[in-house]
Amino acid sequence: MIPLPLTEVARLCPGRLEAAPGAERVTGLEIDSRRIRPGDLFVAVGSGAEHVADALARGAAAALVPDDAHRAMAALGAAVRTLSSATVVGITGATGKTSTKDILAALCRPHARTVAAEQSHNNEIGLPLTLTRIEPDTEIVIAEMGTRGLGQVADLCAVARPQLAVITTLGPAHLELFGTVENVARAEAEIVAALPPGGAAVVPAGEPLLDPYLTRTDIDVIRYGNGGDVRLLSFSADEHAHLVVDVLDERLELAFNFRSRHNATNALAALAAYGALGLPLADAHVGALEISLSRWREQELPLPGGGVLINDCYNANPVSMAAALDHLAERARGRRRVAVLGDMAELGPGAPAYHGEVGAVASRAGVSVLVAIGPLARGYLEGAEAVPARLWAPTVEQALAVYPALIRPGDCVLVKGSRSMGLEAVAGAVAAAAA
């Protein structure tokens, strides 16, 4: 982190600031006392005030118990951002944000000193955590921005001040709060309005919901996808995904260590951003690029009899669920297909219909066994009449008691649902049974 004097921390952040003897500045920031390194500032968020002594004992230069944690984190993130000359990339969208961030970071790191958000650090706490990892020599910052309401992306942009915006795939997400997909687009487009003159926006091609927000003449707009400036010419997958792409009129052949077609779309968004950053396109295709996807996203583990577990349980909405089921069908390659699907949360009054539609996708994907977990997940079964074996369990615990009998050696098993379902327990049990 670019160092901040403690006097500046005290000025920016009303609250109780306790400094270690002799400390005059901070060189890092953490909200988890277990991660403290010497010189860090520990910011007490939530129950963090109980861990001030532990943070100081681990070498923190100071501990802050702020009057308002969100305001304090925003102020600290903005302060470090102001001291840096790095180019900030902001990534938002209904689905694919984190994977796009992971791919873009892997593309950038061989060519520029890059800081990227950890995991899904994309809210009022996570974004400042990313910004406070900026060092004096950082050249590119890749920040992820989530939203659960109108105005939130704008607020995050006020802190991060991105020069390059990336909007990933739109779709029905958080509809309990947004009401309509049109409002989702309006919220994500706040990042375009926040760009400075001369900035650039990377957006999906052929997305009419974004068109009203792309009228600025003082920024560049780069479209990815069919008919866009960055297009997928061919896709195949074995141990790696092999893509032939047209990036701003330059033809590239690339290999990535993911296998799914939907991550190929995320790669297009990342390549568009990479090109907009002015990084060398000719060097983007050297070898197979190893992407460290954040946990519980398309994670694969072997199962007995040549089977495969696809652990994609971090989150789910109708778009990402359909993409995951399509990937299950492609990845199975003759294996029996098993889908363990949890509720998709925050879809509002239309939730039953969306779950039914996903059940129909499972039928078309040739799923042989469908395990639906959660109250809303029962809707999958109504749309999945062509699936031979269907089972509903109201809770993860009840599913754990019955699903093992349905899985055979050699199966290809997908586990996916909203974060609130905690389906990592199911994925973990499947993996443990195979060990």
pLDDT score at 315: 85
Q: If DSSP codes are grouped into helix, strand and coil, which group holds residue 308?
A: strand
Nearest to 117 by CA among 173, 187, 166, 47: 166
End-to-end CA distance of the chain: give it in Å, rounded: 41
Angle of the 152-160 helix axis to the 181-188 helix axis, nearest 10:
10
Beta bridge partners of 134: none
- pTM of the complete model: 0.89
Summarize pLDDT for 213-256 with one digit per residue, the tens: 999 999 999 999 999 999 999 999 888 889 999 999 999 999 99
CATH T-level assignment (fold) for domain 84-289:
UDP-N-acetylmuramoyl-L-alanine:D-glutamate ligase (3.40.1190)
Summarize pLDDT for 132-189 with one digit per residue, the tens: 999 999 999 999 999 988 999 999 999 999 999 999 999 888 788 888 999 999 999 9
pLDDT at 295 over 80: no
pLDDT score at 53: 96
For the chain, what are the domain ranges? 4-66, 84-289, 299-434
The alpha-helical segments, DSSP class H, found in 132-180 are 152-160, 175-178
Tokens representing residue 82 in the block: 């102001």
pLDDT at 287 over 60: no
288 band by pLDDT with thresholds 50, 70 and 90: low
**C-alpha–C-alpha distance, residues 183 and 306, integer Å:** 45
Cα 28–76–2 angle (5° rounding)? Answer: 45
Summarize pLDDT for 57-92 with one digit per residue, the tens: 999 999 999 999 999 999 999 999 999 999 999 999
For the chain, give the number of residues.
435
Residue pair 236/215 in contact by the 8 Å Cβ criterion: no
Residue pair 278/220 in contact by the 8 Å Cβ criterion: no
Strands 200-204 and 220-224: parallel
209 band by pLDDT with thresholds 50, 70 and 90: very high
CATH 3.40.1390.10 fits 4-66, yes or no: yes
pLDDT score at 20: 97
pLDDT score at 177: 81
Q: What is the DSSP letter of 225?
A: S
pLDDT score at 176: 81
CATH code, residues 299-434: 3.90.190.20
